[in-house]
């Protein structure tokens, strides 16, 4: 094989045909689940004005500070490749007046997102996200529905040991009080925490709780917990969500460290964990963001959603070592024994496809042996051979690939013959 002088950009990968059966399986399952729950598809542009993400993802986040692919177009306007879907969904909701439709407005999206991250397993600079959002309702039954969409998807994909990690991060009423407690607690421990945490203390104190640096763990362990200071509305909302989860028998753990460091995230935060790449592995993250609409210039609109990376889903499928989904293979592979049969083979191929039978032929006038080898590699169910005798008699010879034997039949009866056997 000739060595190419180009490679895909660092942290960006090709999805080759052999991996596609996994993707196909995931996409099929997604389509089934969103129909079941009544979500409609929404497609968004791959890039938007940079200011939308600065406001909608948030200044001070890793995404905005370090990870966005931002560029000036030829008229010197700043655009950014979408690092996530939610800001764009909200932009579209406001721009098209979608609040006028029945509420909640329930949509899903699927496509690439771009983040300049350190590449690692399941995390790429271009990765594909499945995103689900429901806008216009604060009812905790909707949080439960969104979480159920995620749970249903992963259980249909056969994931083992599924559980929710959940938390409530309060609202603009109750969170400021908690942040005061938290910063007071951390102020006396500046020497015990990592450098990033010292910055977070000023910029984004809630994020102190999700630091992964070992030195910070004991400090987090004894930090104040937001559950103690939730306002009545937030406490009631969280209690009702837990009741729905209990009633449905969904396993969950209240995880006090699960946070989102931005003002417009409110109340519910959750992740779904599954047995996977590590012992436990987050396959999706989501939550409520009742303040986002205002942050990007709309009227107050409660909303809840989640996002899940398809690459991580595929890795989890592979690591749970279920049998890979069967790759597609042709029902019929056409072989010409002599070059004069070429015209017949091309016509017959078109007839088979027109009749809905998936079929292939060998190209390039190769030897009979080479054609048979290709039929084998492509895992065809039947090989149909046309040689001199078949040309003269108006027949074809059908060979069964998974069993001994072959038979010669009239060319005109081939489609009926194959269809009858495919339906057996
Ligand atoms: Zn509250
Ligand atoms: Zn830290």
Which residues are registered as beta bridge partners of 135? Answer: 105, 303
Answer yes or no: do 92 and 141 share one domain.
yes
Answer yes or no: do 236 and 383 share one domain.
no
Percentage of the chain surpassing pLDDT 90? Answer: 80
CATH classification of the domain holding 144: 3.30.930.10
Q: Give me the residue label for tokens 């542009």.
A: 45
Answer yes or no: do 247 and 119 share one domain.
yes
Residue 216 counted as domain residue: no
Answer yes or no: do 141 and 243 share one domain.
yes
Answer yes or no: do 312 and 341 share one domain.
no
Residue 379 counted as domain residue: yes
In 3-state terms, the chain is what percent helix, strand and coil (to 5)? 45, 20, 35
- Ligand 1 centre to CA of 237 (Å) is 9
Q: Give me the residue label for tokens 């909608």.
A: 56
Rounded distance, CA 157 to CA 28, Å?
10
Q: Relative to the alpha carbon of 257, which ligand is closest?
A: 2
- Ligand 1 centre to CA of 39 (Å) is 28
- What's the mean pLDDT in 202-223? 92
Q: Which residues does 238 contact at the CB level (< 8 Å), separation at least 6?
A: 140, 168, 230, 267, 268
User: 260 or 126: whose pLDDT is higher?
Assistant: 126
Answer yes or no: do 238 and 137 share one domain.
yes
- Ligand 2 centre to CA of 257 (Å) is 12
Q: Relative to the alpha carbon of 235, which ligand is closest?
A: 1
- Ligand 2 centre to CA of 421 (Å) is 64
Tell whether the model's pLDDT for residue 179 goes beyond 80: yes
Rounded distance, CA 332 to CA 398, Å?
9
User: Of 319, 354, 377, which closes a domain?
Assistant: 319
pLDDT tens digits, one per residue of 312-346: 999 888 887 666 777 788 999 999 999 999 999 99
pLDDT tens digits, one per residue of 112-139: 999 999 888 778 999 999 999 999 999 9
- Ligand 2 centre to CA of 194 (Å) is 4
Q: What is the pLDDT of residue 192?
A: 92
Q: What is the pLDDT of residue 1?
A: 58
- Ligand 2 centre to CA of 154 (Å) is 32
User: Of 286, 319, 352, which closes a domain?
Assistant: 319
Q: Which of 218-227, 236-245, 250-259, 280-289 has the lowest mean pLDDT?
A: 280-289
Residue 308 counted as domain residue: yes
- Ligand 2 centre to CA of 201 (Å) is 10
Residue 188 counted as domain residue: no
Answer yes or no: do 159 and 269 share one domain.
yes
Answer yes or no: do 292 and 158 share one domain.
yes
Q: What is the pLDDT of residue 264?
A: 83
Q: What is the pLDDT of residue 408?
A: 96
- Ligand 1 centre to CA of 168 (Å) is 9
Tell whether the model's pLDDT for residue 65 goes beyond 60: yes
- Ligand 2 centre to CA of 164 (Å) is 24
Q: What is the pLDDT of residue 405?
A: 85
- Ligand 1 centre to CA of 63 (Å) is 26
Grade residue 278 by pLDDT with cuts at 50, 70 and 90.
low
Tell whether the model's pLDDT for residue 168 goes beyond 80: yes
- Ligand 2 centre to CA of 182 (Å) is 14
Q: What is the pLDDT of residue 328?
A: 80
- Ligand 2 centre to CA of 279 (Å) is 23
Tell me the two tokens of residue 355.
Answer: 């009749």
Number of domains in the chain: 2
Answer yes or no: do 346 and 406 share one domain.
yes
- Ligand 2 centre to CA of 213 (Å) is 5
Burial of 4 (0-12, 13-18, 19+ CB in 10 A): exposed
DSSP H or E segment with residue 273: strand 266-274
User: Of 319, 341, 376, which closes a domain?
Assistant: 319
Residue 35 counted as domain residue: yes
Tell whether the model's pLDDT for residue 279 goes beyond 60: no
Answer yes or no: do 277 and 351 share one domain.
no
Q: Relative to the alpha carbon of 226, which ligand is closest?
A: 1
- Ligand 2 centre to CA of 383 (Å) is 63
Rounded distance, CA 70 to CA 49, Å?
9
Residue 351 counted as domain residue: yes
CATH classification of the domain holding 340: 3.40.50.800
- Ligand 2 centre to CA of 263 (Å) is 20
- What's the mean pLDDT in 348-356? 95
- Sheet with 70-72: list strands edge to edge: 47-49, 78-81, 70-72
Residue 33 counted as domain residue: yes
Q: Which residues does 262 contact at the CB level (< 8 Å), separation at least 6?
A: 58, 60, 61, 204
Answer yes or no: do 362 and 300 share one domain.
no
Q: Relative to the alpha carbon of 192, which ligand is closest?
A: 2
Nearest Cα residue to 216 out of 180, 191, 199? 191
Q: Give me the residue label for tokens 């909200």.
A: 90
Q: Is 359 helix (H, G, I), strand (E, B) or coil?
A: strand
Q: How remote is the C-alpha of 140 from its chain's centroid?
A: 24
Rounded distance, CA 301 to CA 99, Å?
9
- Ligand 2 centre to CA of 229 (Å) is 23
- Ligand 2 centre to CA of 177 (Å) is 22
- Ligand 1 centre to CA of 173 (Å) is 5
- Ligand 1 centre to CA of 108 (Å) is 28
Answer yes or no: do 115 and 238 share one domain.
yes
Q: Relative to the alpha carbon of 176, which ligand is closest?
A: 1
Q: Relative to the alpha carbon of 216, which ligand is closest?
A: 2
Q: Is 110 helix (H, G, I), strand (E, B) or coil?
A: strand
pLDDT tens digits, one per residue of 21-55: 999 999 999 999 999 999 999 999 999 999 999 99
Residue 88 counted as domain residue: yes
Domain with 381 in it: 332-422
Nearest Cα residue to 287 out of 186, 171, 401? 171
Contact (Cβ atoms closer than 8 angstroms) between residue 230 and residue 168:
yes
Beta 359-361 vs 332-336: how paired, if at all?
Answer: parallel
Contact (Cβ atoms closer than 8 angstroms) between residue 333 and residue 380:
yes
Q: Which residues does 15 contact at the CB level (< 8 Å), separation at least 6?
A: 23
């Amino acid at each position: 094989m000739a060595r190419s002088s180009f490679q895909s950009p660092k942290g960006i990968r090709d999805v080759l045909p052999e991996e596609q059966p996994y993707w196909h399986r995931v996409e099929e399952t997604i389509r089934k689940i969103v129909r079941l729950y009544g979500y409609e598809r929404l497609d968004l542009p791959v890039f938007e004005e940079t200011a939308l993400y600065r406001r909608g993802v948030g200044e001070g986040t890793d995404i905005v500070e370090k990870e966005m692919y931002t560029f000036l177009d030829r008229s010197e306007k700043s655009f950014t490749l979408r690092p996530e879907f939610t800001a764009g969904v909200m932009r579209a909701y406001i721009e098209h007046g979608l609040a006028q439709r029945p509420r909640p407005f329930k949509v899903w999206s699927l496509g690439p997102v771009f983040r300049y991250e350190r590449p690692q397993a399941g995390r790429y600079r271009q990765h594909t996200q499945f995103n689900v959002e429901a806008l216009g309702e604060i009812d905790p039954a909707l949080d439960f529905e969104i979480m159920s969409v995620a749970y249903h998807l992963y259980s249909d994909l056969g994931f083992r040991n599924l559980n929710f990690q959940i938390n409530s991060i309060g609202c603009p009423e109750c969170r400021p009080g908690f942040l005061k407690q938290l910063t007071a607690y951390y102020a006396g421990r500046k020497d015990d925490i990592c450098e990033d945490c010292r910055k977070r203390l000023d910029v984004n104190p809630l994020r102190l709780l999700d630091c992964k640096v070992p030195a910070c763990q004991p400090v987090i362990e004894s930090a104040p917990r937001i559950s103690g200071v939730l306002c009545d509305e937030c406490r009631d909302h969280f209690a009702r969500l837990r009741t729905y989860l209990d009633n449905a028998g969904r396993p969950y753990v209240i995880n006090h460290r699960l946070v989102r460091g931005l003002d417009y995230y409110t109340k519910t935060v959750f992740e779904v964990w599954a047995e996977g790449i590590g012992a436990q592995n987050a396959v999706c993250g989501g939550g409520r963001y009742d303040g986002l609409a205002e942050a990007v210039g709309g009227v107050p609109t409660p909303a809840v959603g989640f996002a899940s990376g398809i690459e991580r889903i595929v890795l989890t499928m592979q690591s749970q070592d279920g049998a890979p989904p069967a790759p597609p293979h042709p029902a019929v592979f056409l072989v010409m024994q002599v070059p004069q049969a070429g015209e017949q083979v091309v016509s017959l191929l078109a007839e088979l496809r027109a009749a809905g039978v998936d079929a292939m032929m060998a190209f390039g006038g190769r030897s009979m042996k080479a054609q048979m080898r290709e039929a084998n590699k492509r895992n065809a169910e039947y090989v149909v051979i046309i040689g001199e005798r078949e040309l003269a008699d108006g027949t074809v010879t059908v060979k069964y690939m998974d069993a001994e034997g072959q038979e010669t039949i009239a060319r005109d009866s081939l489609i009926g013959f194959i269809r009858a056997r495919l339906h057996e």
